[in-house]
Structure 1
Amino acid sequence: MDADSNGMQSSSLSLDTDQQPGNKKRNRAPNYTDKEIRTLIRLIFTHLDVVENKKTDSETWRIKCLVWNSIMEDFNRSDLGSVKRTAEMLRQKYDSIKKWARKKEAKNREEESKPKPDYVHMEDYEKELLHVLETHGGNSGQPCESTTTVHPPLNSVKFENGCSSLSANDDSNNDFQEERFIVTDEDMLWDLPADTTYRPRLNLVKKQLEHLEREEQRQLTEHHYRMRTEEIKRKIYLNKGRRARIEHRKKMEILELEIELKKKALMSFEQQPLNS
């Protein structure tokens, strides 16, 4: 009887321990589907200049927070299911995609030198991402264990709706609230609209306009350089033709003088027997 009661007590203790809310594991968000990954890559391509900006100043962090918030809103508005991804989740997923794509590319590059290469399959979006990063200048082509992107400190941004900490009710309901970054610097917010839906796009539009202006100025400079180069080439060609004509005329004058000298020499030679 004592042994049975002790066994029942120990089993009840273990049951109580397992049912304690503090020991309950938090359920992870579902894995990303292929459609979600492709949508994320497509959205990032539209903001690649900001996402892959390697500067570490506070202004860059503010813009990056706005852009990632914009990507999160567009991603969650798309018809991809009921799972809502936070901006931090999307950023970590993008870093993971970059890391594995670079590892696969490095592995396939090593396999090229082998007699029987065993290539690793790469998705089309992974190849496109590496190509875009290489064109953009953000892919060194070397494998890396972790991405080199440095993320802003948490004390520089704050969150709406208490998303920085999850309560026990949130864990039990497995709800994922949207994480929204709000810039705390009032000097940065003076020209932002009251509607928070359009805030992330304001500075992004400014940056895109500045980028377009720089690109237009660069193309205009290149056009002027090409036109000046063509004008110089045309002048060189004209000068070559002019010099060739002058040299030809001089050669003809020399030939005519030589002919006259030979005629005079011939006439003097013909007159010599008569005088003798």
Structure 2
Amino acid sequence: MATILDGKAVSEKRLELLKEAIGESGLYPRLATVIVGSEPASQMYVRMKHRACERVGIGSIGIECPGDATTEKVIESITRLNRDPDINGILVQLPLPKQIDTERVIAAVNTDKDVDGFHPTSLGLLMSGKPRFAPCTPKGIMTLLAEYKIPLAGARAVVAGRSIDVGRPMAALLTNADATVTVCHSRTRDLPAELRRADILISAVGKAHFITPEMVKPGAVVIDVGINQLNGKLVGDVDFDGIKDIASAITPVPGGVGPMTIATLMENTFAAATRME
């Protein structure tokens, strides 16, 4: 039976340590969230982030734009937050509605307040091996791997999915940690064979139970980033029940990567406040 990588427990520990650090710092970090429209999942994620802020001593404000807002209107809101000296971090809740130019909106965020790590400058610094703010999900995964003392140097890591919010920055962080990294995607030839080579397998494809037992090497560490609905249940990309006896360690869904993402956002926001001090 694999070791369960308990992201919920690790995030709780990280948030308690962060609360202490913020209390001792004398700083009052503040995070602003920007949401466009009323998509229920996005609203739920934003509420979770505000609750985490309250817990650790970070102030938060929420900017809500109507679902039919233009790109220019959203950028106006971001520009006001950029200019506000009391705001340390800005998070734009993704995905944005189709009429919004997401790239322009992300590029409008002041790089010193880019606690989500998606600005082209932030991603460039990450790729160069000198990250300022790394995207929260990949960075949270790195924290989780470190907490369980999973060695990365020299390990063969395979990332399934090449998105800009998870797959690509995940590959960069693993490369910076001296892993040998392969990024797989929809055009990868013989995907199961590539996945079976992984010492560390990270799935961010967004398809329920996409990763099956025959795709996993015995003893691999399996990180499941997926959040999918299947028969009314929340499940990951990984067939957890089928793989838990093959892998040496595995994240559950829920309770694995998700809590680490929020804890990392809080840590990035405090780091931004410290940098601006």
TM-score, with length taken from structure 1: 0.22
More strand by share: 2
Indicate the structure with greater helix content.
1
Q: Give me the TM-score of the superposition, normalised by structure 2.
A: 0.22
Computing the radius of gyration over CA atoms, which structure comes out larger, 1 or 2? Answer: 1
